[in-house]
A and B are shown apart, each in its own frame.
Chain A
Amino acid sequence: MNTLSTEERSALRDSVHRLLTDESTESAVRATMETESGYAVDLWKQLGAMGVIGLVIDESHGGSGAGPMELEVVMEEAGAALLCSPLLASGVLAARLLIALGDAETMGRLLPGIASGSTIATTVLTGDTGCWTEAGVAITASCEGDKWHLDGRGSYVLHGQNADVLLVVANTDDGLMAFEVDPQVKGVLVEALPTLDRTLRLAAITFNGAVAKPIKTALPVWGAAQQSIELALVGLAGEQAGGARKVLEFTVEYAKTRIQFGRQIGSFQAIKHMAADLLLETESAISAARHAAMSLAEQSEKKNEAVSLAAFACADAFVKTAADGIQMHGGIAFTWEHPAHLYLKRARANAYLFGSSVYFKEKYLQALSMGGETTGAGE
Chain B
Amino acid sequence: MNNQVNDEALRQEVRSWLSANWGAEIADVLKKEAYSWEASDTRKAWLNKVVDARWAVTRWPEEWYGRGLSDDQAKIVEREFALVGAPGAGQDRINLWANTLLTAGSEGLKQKLIPRLLRNDVNMCLLYSEPGAGSDLAGIRTRADLDGDHYVVNGQKVWTSGAAVADYGMLIARTNWDVPKHQGISFFFLPMKQAGIEVRPLRQITNESHFNEVFITDAIVPAENLLSVPGSGWKVLNTALAYERSSMGEGARGARSGVTLATKEEPLIALAREAGKLDEPSLRQEIAQAIAYKRLNALNTARAKADLEQGTSSSIMSLGKLAMSRILHEEGRLRTEILGAESLLEGKQYPRAEDANFLSLNAYFTSIGGGTDQIQRNIIGERVLGLPKEPEVDKNIPFRDVRTS
Contacts and interface: CB of A to CB of B under 8 A. Distances in A.
Interface stretch (B28-36, B52-60, B241-249, B291-299): B291-299
Contact of B269 (A287, A288, A369): A369
Contact of B284 (A272, A276, A361): A361
Interface string B263-295: 111100100000000100100110111011001
A303 B121 CA distance: 51
Nearest to A271: B387
Contact of A269 (B315, B378, B386): B378
Given A368-B291, A372-B263, A378-B305, A256 B387 contact: yes
B300 interface: yes
Contacts of A361: 284-285, 288-289, 292
A272 B285 CA distance: 29
B390 interface: yes
Interface string B380-392: 1110111111110
A268 B387 CA distance: 9
B217 interface: no
A309 B292 contact: yes
Contacts of A271: 387
A364 interface: yes
A266 B288 contact: no
Given A369-B265, A374-B266, A279 B388 contact: no
Contact of A275 (B288, B301, B381): B381
B7 to A, nearest CB: 27
Contacts of A312: 288, 292
A358 B285 contact: yes
A105 B282 CA distance: 48
Contacts of B374: 269, 273
A10 to B, nearest CB: 10
A283 B269 CA distance: 26
B323 interface: yes
B269 A280 contact: no
B316 interface: yes
A174 interface: no
Contact of A365 (B287, B301, B378, B385): B287
Question: Which of A276, A362, A372 has the most chain B CB atoms closer than 10 A to its own CB?
Answer: A276
A378 B301 contact: yes
B356 interface: no
Given A252-B387, A361-B284, A372-B263, A288 B319 contact: no
A255 interface: yes
A313 B263 contact: no
Interface residues of A, number: 41
Contacts of B378: 269, 272-273, 276
Given A256-B388, A365-B288, A369-B269, A277 B295 contact: no
Contact of A309 (B278, B295, B387): B295
Nearest to B283: A365
B322 interface: yes
Contact of A287 (B300, B322, B376): B300
B390 to A, nearest CB: 5
B377 A269 contact: yes
Interface residues of B, number: 44
Interface in B368-405: 374, 376-378, 380-382, 384-391
B256 interface: no
Contact of A276 (B298, B301, B322): B322
A264 interface: yes
A149 interface: no
A374 B290 CA distance: 14
A313 B292 CA distance: 8
B381 A378 contact: no
B302 interface: yes
A133 interface: no
Contacts of B380: 275-276, 279-280
Contacts of A263: 388, 391
Interface in A315-330: none
Contacts of B315: 279, 283
Nearest to A251: B385
A377 interface: yes
A373 interface: yes
A377 B296 contact: no
Contacts of A368: 265-266, 269, 288, 291
B392 to A, nearest CB: 11
B385 A275 contact: yes
B303 interface: yes
A272 B382 contact: yes
B388 A267 contact: yes
A146 interface: no
A290 interface: yes
Question: Which of A264, A269, A283, A290 has the most chain B CB atoms closer than 10 A to its own CB?
Answer: A283
Interface in B149-200: none
Contacts of A373: 264-265
Nearest to B322: A280
B303 A290 contact: yes
Contacts of B323: 280, 284
30 contacts: A255-B387, A266-B388, A269-B374, A269-B377, A269-B381, A272-B377, A272-B382, A272-B387, A273-B377, A273-B381, A276-B380, A276-B381, A279-B315, A280-B323, A283-B315, A312-B292, A358-B285, A365-B287, A368-B291, A369-B265, A369-B269, A372-B265, A373-B265, A374-B264, A374-B266, A376-B299, A377-B302, A378-B300, A378-B301, A379-B298
Interface of B: 263-266, 269, 278, 281, 284-285, 287-289, 291-292, 295-303, 305, 315-316, 319, 322-323, 374, 376-378, 380-382, 384-391
Given A287-B302, A364-B292, 13 more contacts: A266-B387, A267-B387, A267-B390, A269-B377, A273-B374, A276-B378, A279-B319, A279-B384, A286-B303, A361-B285, A361-B292, A372-B263, A378-B298
The 10 A-B pairs with the shortest beta carbon distances in the complex, nearest first, are A378-B302, A272-B381, A266-B387, A287-B299, A361-B288, A276-B377, A276-B380, A284-B296, A377-B302, A378-B298
